[in-house]
Structure 1
Amino acid sequence: MHFDLYTLGVIGAAIGIAISMSFTLLGLVLRGLPALRIWASAFWVVTAAAFAQGLDENGSLLSTVAGGGLIALANALMLMGIAIHLHYPLRWRWPLAVVGLFAANQLHAYLVPPSQTVSALMFGAYSVVWDVWMVWVLLWRAPRDMRNTCSFTALIFIVDAVFYLLRSVVVLFPQTFAHTPLDELLTTWNYLFGILSSFLLSTGFTLMLAERLTLDLRRLARTDGLTGLLNRSALIEAGTRLVDACRARGQACSVLMFDLDHFKSINDSWGHAAGDAVLGHFVGVIRGVGLVRDALFARYGGEEFVLVLPAVEPVQVGALAERMRAAVAAKPAVFDGRTINITTSIGGAAATDANFERLVSAADVALYRAKHLGRDQVAWSPGVERPG
């Protein structure tokens, strides 16, 4: 069955409209995914390009400049959507500069028509540049937990680049490849390949969105919504693994448990919004003192926090606890233009042979001893190793 360019353009436009509508409707539901809106715009632009090129086969201003420029713009939107989705800091000006360069080249081609060979080579070169750029971002800038879907999407761009490279080879060596099966295949699939690529890309982007949502949900299930720290269940899971690893290596592992002194009176006197601000301020102060690598800092519940310090000498942990206590006392929280003085009591425990549950229990006992002794101080559990 033979399809002329007009028919293929209509088919491509119909599929493009369906894909664009799907992404647009998804964007109305999933409002927290900015990449989704950008990809929806990209597919709308691809659809407009299909109309511009499919409705005019004569190389006019519409098909040459507008159609080609729209394709370049769609590539730029796809690239920026990928970068934003992966949190890669790519500035808009670089893709848009390439779009401008391509549009200027297309305008020159319209005013001074090059040979068919040169025109095909230029379009193929621009296509390969976009493909390689997107593959690089997908494979080398993707987080480890998103590699699977990014690799699938990158494969689509790799196939697209190979397709245009093969076309360029056929154009460069017409005597060798003219009327060969490769030449006929590339000619027959020239426009159909573009339609298939759009469909596969929509699938790849959808899988990337689904994976992002899944990871975000898992992260939310492990994170305290107010402070952004690990929550209690995530702390127990990660802390158990960390302490067991230290015990297997014969290294000391320490646990510090913090309690904000008189926190209930802050809520009663200032309101719960102030209490939330104080909790956030406290987390910032502790982080500002400096946490060692691989440390676990989590909200244990209410105004209680836990810090797990693996492979750190107890003497160093004792000094760190004192610095943290002093830093909290020296830096009042600010709420609604007024300062709120806060202090913290700290209970500590350190051991080389205790499990996570025992360390936390020992630190909890030490914490209550610090509060009983007058608060705003550090106490250590007598049942395990004590620094100094």
Structure 2
Amino acid sequence: MDGVSGLDVHTLGVIGLAVGVTIALSFTLLSLVLRGMLALHIWAAAFWMLTAAGLAEGYDEKSTFLSAIVGSALIALANGAMVLGIAIHIGQPLRWRWPALVITLFLAIQVSFLLAPPPQAVEAAVFGGKSIVWDAWMVWLLLFRAPRELRTSAAFTAMIFIIDALFYLARGAVSLHPEMDSHALLATVLTASNYLFGILCTFLLSTGFTLMLAQRLVHDLRRAAEVDGLTGLLNRSALLRESNRQLASGRGYPNAALLFDLDNFKAINDRWGHAGGDAVLKHFAEVIRSVGLPAHSLFSRYGGEEFLLLVPGMDPRDAAGLAEALRLRVAEAPASYSDASIAFTTSVGVCASSDTRVHQLIQAADEALYRAKNAGRNRVETA
């Protein structure tokens, strides 16, 4: 029985090593394709460290320096890397000093155990406690700090860490049983279960991280399809799609459309080049946003040097007042480019109506804008 059990543990160790290498290699190859995702690079390194730790602990079965210190250090570094990768992926600032402090504390405990070995049950319980601390940290980040667009994959990954913590809680409780030292078969079963759970958890964890990466990519692709790359504003198609929902929710109340056109923009491009023109477009968007737009308003780059601001629930007088205030603000705030100042102005066409058909609002605002430009530019006209 002992020989078979030993062979089983040895076989599980080999399988675990093969699984670790496969997953680490997969994440490494994926990181070569998705080079802009820093979290992916960090997770790939974490899987390699976990694999190396398993190799060190499996090679050195007598729990000397190689497994007790090197293996423990690699496991702690891998956990710290996972925490850091999760924080980066969800956009939660995290400095290296906090994971480094926890890693140093755990290694100090491990060195003390090497110098003065405690009972095996106590050592197993402490190891489980260290794992639970890392699990709790990652669960907290995933469940309470992940943005809305990543919550589904973050919740799945958090579930894996919760299961891992529950496993080590149960294993620690069994290890602290008074008669544990006299049950060699039970100790072997616990070791085998540790290998089995490690293999399963590694598979699930790689799946969780992959889901998080996939959800991030889908979100970024959707955002890229909806946002103007130069100004960071909604593009025309995204605004029209969102405006139908916004205006419909305010049925019966007036809605305002403010259509801006940068005056003599071709002359700016001719004098300063397209880079100067781009600087003016970006500056204009920043100026309008800095004023503090009304709640639920939609601001977009409508096309070329035209910008559209839709404000649900705004009557004609307030819309005209807002347009005039924005026009004056733009005229007073020249753009900076190549150590020079580029002064520019904008003409604004305004339409405010209870009509919830956005294309009707925009068409009327466009007609008002046409009058503003024909009347000399740098002015506001209302429909």
Equivalent-residue separation in structure 2 for 1:312 and 1:111 (angstroms): 74
Alpha carbons of structure 1 residues 182 and 331: separation in structure 2 relative to 1, 3 Å: farther
How far 1:8 sits from its partner (Å)?
A: 3.3
Alpha carbons of structure 1 residues 177 and 322: separation in structure 2 relative to 1, 3 Å: farther
Match of 1:373 in 2: 375
Instruction: Tell me the TM-score normalised to structure 2 length.
Output: 0.94
Match of 1:361 in 2: 363
Alpha carbons of structure 1 residues 174 and 293: separation in structure 2 relative to 1, 3 Å: farther
Query: Which 5+ residue runs of structure 2 have no aligned equivalent?
Result: none
**Identical counterparts, % of pairs:** 56
Match of 2:204 in 1: 200
How far 1:4 sits from its partner (Å)?
A: 5.2
Match of 1:136 in 2: 140
How far 1:202 sits from its partner (Å)?
A: 0.9
Match of 2:57 in 1: 53
Alpha carbons of structure 1 residues 378 and 188: separation in structure 2 relative to 1, 3 Å: same
Written as runs of structure 1 = structure 2, the 5 A alignment for 1:27-106 is 27-106=31-110
1:119 aligns with 2:123: yes
Secondary structure in 2 matching 1:307: strand
Secondary structure in 1 matching 2:92: coil
Secondary structure in 2 matching 1:189: helix
Match of 1:384 in 2: none
Q: Letter of the aligned partner of 1:211 in structure 2?
A: Q
Equivalent-residue separation in structure 2 for 1:172 and 1:312 (angstroms): 69
How far 1:310 sits from its partner (Å)?
A: 1.6
Equivalent-residue separation in structure 2 for 1:257 and 1:376 (angstroms): 13
Secondary structure in 1 matching 2:250: helix
Deviations 1:268-315 (A, max 9, x none): 121111111110011111111111222111010000000111223443
Whether the aligned pair in 2 keeps the contact of 1:223 and 1:231 (CA below 8 Å) is yes
Deviations 1:94-151 (A, max 9, x none): 1111111101110111011111121111111111111111111111111222221111
Whether the aligned pair in 1 keeps the contact of 2:227 and 2:235 (CA below 8 Å) is yes
Secondary structure in 2 matching 1:339: strand
Alpha carbons of structure 1 residues 282 and 182: separation in structure 2 relative to 1, 3 Å: farther
Whether the aligned pair in 2 keeps the contact of 1:170 and 1:177 (CA below 8 Å) is no
Equivalent-residue separation in structure 1 for 2:186 and 2:215 (angstroms): 37
Equivalent-residue separation in structure 1 for 2:70 and 2:8 (angstroms): 21
Q: Letter of the aligned partner of 1:39 in structure 2?
A: W
Alpha carbons of structure 1 residues 229 and 55: separation in structure 2 relative to 1, 3 Å: same
Whether the aligned pair in 2 keeps the contact of 1:49 and 1:66 (CA below 8 Å) is yes
How far 1:177 sits from its partner (Å)?
A: 12
How far 1:191 sits from its partner (Å)?
A: 1.5
Equivalent-residue separation in structure 1 for 2:81 and 2:16 (angstroms): 19
Aligned partner of 2:28 among 15, 24, 29: 24
Match of 2:243 in 1: 239
How far 1:6 sits from its partner (Å)?
A: 4.4
How far 1:199 sits from its partner (Å)?
A: 1.5
Equivalent-residue separation in structure 2 for 1:210 and 1:141 (angstroms): 18
Equivalent-residue separation in structure 1 for 2:190 and 2:373 (angstroms): 78
Match of 1:385 in 2: none
Aligned partner of 1:350 among 349, 352, 355: 352
Match of 1:281 in 2: 283
Secondary structure in 2 matching 1:271: helix
Q: Letter of the aligned partner of 1:305 in structure 2?
A: F
1:145 aligns with 2:146: no
Whether the aligned pair in 2 keeps the contact of 1:170 and 1:183 (CA below 8 Å) is no
Deviation larger for 165-174 or 231-240: 165-174
Secondary structure in 2 matching 1:37: helix
Query: Which 5+ residue runs of structure 1 have no aligned equivalent?
Result: 382-388
Alpha carbons of structure 1 residues 182 and 378: separation in structure 2 relative to 1, 3 Å: farther
